[in-house]
Chain A
């Protein structure tokens, strides 16, 4: 039997609870009162035979006295208390008297330590990531040149013509350089192209990486291998990510059962990736069709799903259309129009701000209430948005509507929906809503 370090404290509690004197108990157990006193203060270990005798005297079982082994718990608490004024010498008493609080404190200390390690890792990345460091340095250098040059042009009315021409040219070159730097930084910070940038993060990010590694298609489900896919989901690191992955797998399995691959491929062949037509033809749940279209093997369509709060619960990016890793997304996405008008089809062609090259997308969004499972269930609603890259644009096509990824890194000046300034533009990013 593993003997707890806190046997003495339990022994004292049992004895005092029965109103027995230390000397009486010691005598009946065949040991000296001074020795029992040392045991009760956890300064001497008691043998198995001694524990049995003491239990007999007290009318309890040896297990009542030995209890669980709290060595790990007390050590965790001790570690968590480093640098505080906690009464370390009374830690055993705390664990014995308040085991639930002690567990909670130890878990909290563990979480704080984990959070500190994560922050340190992120700081380390900011300091030592050569790509990030180089890009930021380049951006700040260009910004510095622009600021000094622009100030010279504004503050020197009698500037010589040749210098003026030279500074105008420099301004142009540096503004181009800043645009490239901002674009690179945007892609790095908020896109999934960042590679190693995604290695530290939330459970949601861990889930996203797991899905992305499989091309967002859980192939095993098509062959009925649900258990194998669930087992794979169990390999995720954090408990929260595993739990979220299980939910995603079970929902995907239901989608596969309702919308078999052959039916989906035939419907897409007939209608293209139009979720409403496919849902109507197959008599299927509309959001299930959204999910299925975006997660078929090799699908280039992105998909975001949000709950009634607008929080993104599923984030599959499309090439060039990044999804924010944290915080809220661009409020101009049709996803949120659909959320405000459930059961209404919302479709819009958009361009993503601050991106070079082709960036036109067809966004199709739809929201529907979540079917309640019982009376009194909360009133919930989910919205989904498919992100389809547009490769062929007719010459007479209308100008696409401009949307961003998230305000924090959006370069759209004077956006009426902006809720916070852009880190890329500072004060120039226009007024902020609601303040």
Chain B
């Protein structure tokens, strides 16, 4: 059974590239352009990995991550946090909130896919 990824990214062209990459790599991908429905989506659907943009309209990526980690059953769900703000403070905030991995944009596709594979096989 293919592994399921939830992508939460408000930049449609980045989302399109990521969806294409993951789909070709054999993942099932659902896409949300904001974080407001993220937790409900995760709870309603099988999710093996979340890819979450830090800066989102409405709920921020950090807010979404905190709400996910507040659910005991989702404590170990792998979450990759993406951001165009690569400052150490953002990285620390993401790691403190429970991100499994923090990736600064722009990233290489190869490194991104390797990170995804690594997290879903852990």
Contact = CB atoms under 8 A, between A and B. Distances in A.
Interface stretch (B36-44, B63-71, B94-102, B105-113): B105-113
Interface in A349-395: none
A148 B109 contact: yes
B55 A137 contact: yes
Given A163-B20, A166-B16, A167-B17, A148 B84 contact: no
B13 A145 contact: yes
Contact of B106 (A127, A137, A147, A166): A147
Contacts, number: 61
Contacts of A141: 11, 14, 84, 105
Contacts of B106: 140, 143-144, 146-148
Interface residues of A, number: 23
A309 interface: no
A140 B105 contact: yes
Given A151-B108, A152-B21, A152-B109, A144 B16 contact: no
Best-surrounded residue of B20, B85, B107 (most CB of chain A within 10 A): B20
Contact of B13 (A127, A155, A156, A170): A170
A124 to B, nearest CB: 12
B13 A174 contact: yes
A294 to B, nearest CB: 41
B15 to A, nearest CB: 9
A149 B17 CA distance: 6
A173 interface: yes
Contacts of A144: 11, 14, 84, 105-107
B77 to A, nearest CB: 24
Nearest to A174: B13
Contacts of B84: 136-137, 140-141, 144
Q: What's the interface size class on B, roughly?
A: 20 to 34
Interface string B1-26: 00000000001011011101100100
Contacts of B121: none
Contacts of B16: 149, 166-167, 170
A137 B17 contact: no
A148 B14 contact: yes
A400 B87 CA distance: 41
Best-surrounded residue of A137, A145, A149, A163 (most CB of chain B within 10 A): A145
Interface in B62-92: 84-85, 87, 89
A133 B112 CA distance: 25
Contacts of B11: 141, 144-145
Given A141-B84, A144-B106, A173 B13 contact: yes
Contacts of A152: 17, 20-21, 109
Nearest to B103: A144
B85 A148 contact: no
Contacts of B85: 133, 136-137, 140
Best-surrounded residue of A147, A156, A173 (most CB of chain B within 10 A): A147
A148 B55 contact: no
A155 B109 contact: yes
Contacts of A174: 13
B107 to A, nearest CB: 7
Contact of A147 (B20, B55, B87, B108): B108
B14 A145 contact: yes
Nearest to B87: A127
Contacts of A146: 106
Contacts of A143: 105-106
Contacts of A136: 84-85
Contacts of A173: 13
B89 to A, nearest CB: 8
A148 B21 contact: yes
Nearest to A171: B13
Interface of B: 11, 13-14, 16-18, 20-21, 24, 55, 84-85, 87, 89, 105-109, 112
| 7 nearest A-B residue pairs (beta carbon) | A144-B105, A140-B84, A144-B106, A148-B17, A145-B13, A147-B106, A170-B13
20 contacts: A127-B89, A137-B55, A137-B84, A140-B85, A141-B84, A141-B105, A143-B106, A144-B84, A144-B106, A146-B106, A147-B107, A148-B14, A149-B13, A152-B17, A152-B109, A155-B109, A163-B20, A167-B17, A167-B20, A170-B16
Given A137-B55, A140-B85, A141-B105, 10 more contacts: A137-B84, A143-B106, A145-B14, A149-B13, A151-B108, A152-B20, A152-B21, A152-B109, A156-B24, A167-B17
